[in-house]
Amino acid sequence: MATGVLLFCFNTEHYSYDKIAAKTIPLIKKNLGLPVTVVTNNSTQELLKKSLSDGINYKVIDNEIGNSIDNKPWHNLDRFRAYDISTYETTFLLDIDYFCFTNNLLTYADCVDDFLIHDQVHDLTGGKSYDFRQNSIIPMLWATVIIFRKTPRARAIFHMVEHIKKHYQYYCSLYRIDFRNFRNDYAFSMACHQVDGFLPTKKLPTKLPTLPAWAKVLEVNDEGLAWQSLDKSGKVINSDVHVIDKGVAYV
């Protein structure tokens, strides 16, 4: 297939990612009009099939376990497999909590670049929550949205992520990264730096619109969502957004 969307979705004992997928996948199909493949495990697939209509492709794997964040399981160790799993010539690799309220990503469907990733975040609450320049010696890239084509360079980046994952503490020390639990954002940052010969990687030209974890989502519909934090509230209308608040599953 020419172009499609690839998602990774694994429930944990604390978070029901299948319920988030039930909100984001219909938006992907509605606004991007692309085929969707979900990489998942058996137990999560059973729930996905109950909440989603037909027309979703599934790739069932035994996901790797062992990582955590805030002392909770974090099933994020399989993203490096995206290149080998994808059956698309051009793949939109998205986090399951990325809400496509527009068709803006289609701008890159025929892009000649073989690997694109964000290097900047726009905090929709107006804060400066994602300035991590002091946390490593290279700028951090954001693996929330990755657009790649089937080329030797793109394959090399994903395979380098696999290598980095196996030796993560070594590479964290090499790049002076102070977040020692495996994180795809840093893994792809280091992989791109290695594969591209320590030269800057071509980036997506926009900032990644993001609602931080303390911005609680109050409502979601086909056009956007409403959120509230301690001292602010707002709406996201006709704009894509990465939602960190996992409580969005139950809105």
* Per-domain residue ranges of the chain: 3-213
**pLDDT at res. 200:** 80
At residue 251, what is the residue type?
A: V
**pLDDT at res. 202:** 84
d(CA 85, CA 150): 11
Angle subtended by helix axes 152-166 and 184-195, to nearest 10:
120
Among 8, 30, 12, 34, CA closest to 21: 8
Query: In what order do the strands lie in the sheet containing 233-237?
Result: 216-220, 224-228, 233-237
Q: For Cα atoms 29, 31, 33, give the angle at the middle one, nearest 5 degrees.
A: 50
Which residues, given as ranges, of the chain have pLDDT below 50?
A: none
**pLDDT at res. 2:** 93
CATH 3.40.50, domain 3-213, yes or no: no
**pLDDT at res. 124:** 93
Among 241, 96, 83, 195, CA closest to 147: 83
CA neighbours within 13 Å on the CB side: how many for 18?
Answer: 18
